[in-house]
Structure 1
Amino acid sequence: MKKNSLFVLMISLLLLFLAACGTSEDTTASPEADAAEEVEEETSITVTHHLGETVVEKNPETVIVFDYGTLETLDQLNVKVAGVAKGSPLPHYLSEYEGDEYENVGSLKEPDFEKIYGMDPDLILISGRQTDAYDELSEIAPTIFVGVDTTNYMESFTENVTLLGEIFGKEEIVEEKLAAINESIDTLYDTASADDKTGLIILTNEGSFSAYGEASRFGIIHDVFGVKAADENIELSTHGMNVSIEYIAEQDPDYLFVIDRNQAIGEKTEADVFNNEVIQGTKAAQNDNIVYLDPTVWYLSGGGLISVEEMVKEITEGIQ
């Protein structure tokens, strides 16, 4: 009897030991499994942006771009895109994207939702003009807002470019290009801020004039490049503050920076609107310092690796 009891006890202990071993094997992940899980986690990135939070797979294949600043950045990073908003004028330096190999996904203000849906994109990149379409685009594919915050231009620009580098595995190229741009900005700032010469930014549009100041759409000239504003009280607005020829003469800037909207959208230039006695009496005109900026860089695009570099060059040349 004792022998039978001892035998039963030994069998029970053996079964408990085997059960414990089995449980240990089931709940402990192997090094290979840990590595596989880590790799899986690194294939996507969660992006917090102006319009929400979006999970994006790294190195997406089918990419649609509505923001021209982002398009030029991807161009500089050698990232292939599938669809572009060709329904609006493209900057001249992005004319290659007018080719048939790139799908036309609508205009900057009116996305072609049917075309976009049919493309089955992996990522859609938008900015301010497409804000109202964000929810509908997000239902089709992961959508990220990559517009520039003009009140904090360089930090916003840097974050956007860095994000694109992370998504497409181009971190080293991004670092090099940002370093070069920042160096040129530092040089420009030192020059522009060394004297008291003032500047006034004017957008012309069918004979009317809008002034832009600090923290505005074109405020990078003052906020980042260091050109002193002729008027520090310009009303902050997306469309600028409506002004007259007399206002420009009253401010009497040393530099008059002009952006011609008509030229940007392919219409007749308005350069001759300043050919009058009122403007010709300003310091800017008398010293040949009316600087006509490239409207495709400043009005159509901006916030990309090409446009920011061109902005630095234009202002550097304009104040020499």
Structure 2
Amino acid sequence: MTPPEADFRKSDKRRQVFGATLDATNWIAPVKTIFRSVTLAAAVFAGAAAFSPALLAQEKAVAHVQGETTLPGVPAKVLVQDWAVFDDLSALGVSVAGVPSSNAPAYLADQIPADAIQIGSLFEPDFESIAAAEADVYFIASRSREAFGTAKDILPTIDLTVDNGSILEGVEKNMTTLGEIFGLEDKASELNAALDAKVAEVAAAAEGKGNALVIVTNAGKLGVYGPDSRVSWVYNEIGMPSALEGVRDGDHGGDAVSFEFLLEVNPDWVFVVDRDAGTGENAGAAAALLDNELFNQTTAAQEGQIVYLDPQASYITMHGYQGVMLLLDQVLEGLNG
């Protein structure tokens, strides 16, 4: 005989749900309860994830001149051993927790936090203070680049050294890199576009104005900066031809020359870097040194075509975004007379 089919439409028939015997008319309620419990648990987990930086952080590999450094996410606590990098970060609106303890440029004075940690001089980092700060990232550059070997074992370290032969390109590259690190790509692009526009404006003003020399004064001595110097963009990007060929750029004092030789070269324009003022040793030393009979016979002196560049922007930071913009404005003002 064939057994009769079960009729689940009848109220006296029973169903098994998760091991419990349920009446056909009330089996839905427990299932709804289970569903609500699972949904609530998922929501709680999702909410926790939303407030957990560790869960949301995305690692970012940052390429730089000494290799590649991986950051676990957007850095919150930042240390900077170089004023040019501080300059860039400040232009982007990024807060900095630790700064160099020496040679702070006057044009950045009101941007430096009063409670900033002092992490050593431009050349000699204080690794004990750096380690104690427990920061998320540490930026070094030209003067502090030798610190990389030690610093990278303490915290993520990035070297933003710029090649003097292509300063403006390096400034924009660093701005782009920092924008990517801090999620400020649009701001970085905006700043770079403003720099491009300013360079174009100065280049247009320089056209047909003659040749130029960038000279550096240093403890009573005179030197010339060339196309690989701290302000090489005067020649390379602005396009003013150098009045002197074959300049051997020195690290501090440029290519040493005499006033007799400078008169023989006879530049149309002179842009002056006062190293003494830049390092805080003797403000106004350059003007005093250049006020002599030989220099006053040059075309630049006789035509009033001498521009004294901001000493700290041109000697201390030189690769910082705001400093370069300041110098470009000074050159533009001089050219437009």
**CA deviation digits over 1:152-173, x for unaligned, max 9?**
2222211110000010111111
| Structure 2 equivalent of residue 189 of structure 1 | 203
* 2:290 is aligned with 1:277: no
**CA deviation digits over 1:84-142, x for unaligned, max 9?**
002x1211122136554100001001111111111112111111111221111111111
| Structure 2 equivalent of residue 58 of structure 1 | 73
- Is contact 2:122-2:144 (8 Å) kept? yes
Query: How big is the shift at 1:145?
Result: 0.9
* 2:115 is aligned with 1:101: yes
In structure 1, the residue corresponding to 2:165 is in which secondary structure? Answer: helix
Amino acid at match of 1:62: K
In structure 2, the residue corresponding to 1:200 is in which secondary structure? Answer: strand
| Structure 1 equivalent of residue 162 of structure 2 | 148
> What count of residue pairs does the alignment treat as equivalent?
282
In structure 1, the residue corresponding to 2:294 is in which secondary structure? Answer: helix
In structure 2, the residue corresponding to 1:203 is in which secondary structure? Answer: strand
CA distance in 2, matches of 1:42, 1:187: 42
| Structure 1 equivalent of residue 58 of structure 2 | 43
| Structure 1 equivalent of residue 246 of structure 2 | 233
CA distance in 2, matches of 1:236, 1:201: 11
Amino acid at match of 2:312: T
Amino acid at match of 1:215: D
CA distance in 2, matches of 1:181, 1:312: 9
Amino acid at match of 1:231: L
| Structure 2 equivalent of residue 212 of structure 1 | 225
- Is contact 1:200-1:256 (8 Å) kept? yes
Amino acid at match of 2:96: V
In structure 1, the residue corresponding to 2:123 is in which secondary structure? Answer: coil
CA distance in 2, matches of 1:183, 1:40: 41
CA distance in 1, matches of 2:198, 2:288: 32
CA distance in 2, matches of 1:158, 1:235: 26
Which moves more between the two structures, 210-219 or 272-281? 210-219
* TM-score, normalised with respect to structure 2: 0.79
CA distance in 1, matches of 2:280, 2:75: 33
| Structure 2 equivalent of residue 17 of structure 1 | none
Query: How big is the shift at 1:61?
Result: 1.3
* TM-score, normalised with respect to structure 1: 0.83
CA distance in 2, matches of 1:43, 1:169: 12
- Is contact 2:235-2:242 (8 Å) kept? yes
CA RMSD of aligned residues (A): 2.0
**Structure whose alpha-carbon radius of gyration is higher:** 2
Out of 140, 149, 153, which is 1:126 matched to?
Answer: 140
In structure 2, the residue corresponding to 1:229 is in which secondary structure? Answer: coil
Instruction: Give the gaps of 5 or more residues in structure 2.
Output: 1-45
* 2:334 is aligned with 1:318: yes
In structure 2, the residue corresponding to 1:47 is in which secondary structure? Answer: strand
- Is contact 1:62-1:121 (8 Å) kept? yes
* Structure with the largest fraction of helix: 1
**CA deviation digits over 1:267-310, x for unaligned, max 9?**
22212111111000000110111211101111111222211211
Out of 298, 305, 321, which is 1:305 matched to?
Answer: 321
Query: How big is the shift at 1:232?
Result: 2.3
CA distance in 2, matches of 1:159, 1:305: 11
CA distance in 1, matches of 2:334, 2:159: 32
Out of 182, 188, 202, which is 2:215 matched to?
Answer: 202
CA distance in 2, matches of 1:41, 1:200: 53
Query: How big is the shift at 1:73?
Result: 1.4
CA distance in 2, matches of 1:41, 1:292: 50
Please list, as runs of the form range in 1=range in 2, the aligned pairs for 1:236-247 lying within 5 A after superposition. Answer: 236-239=249-252, 240-247=254-261
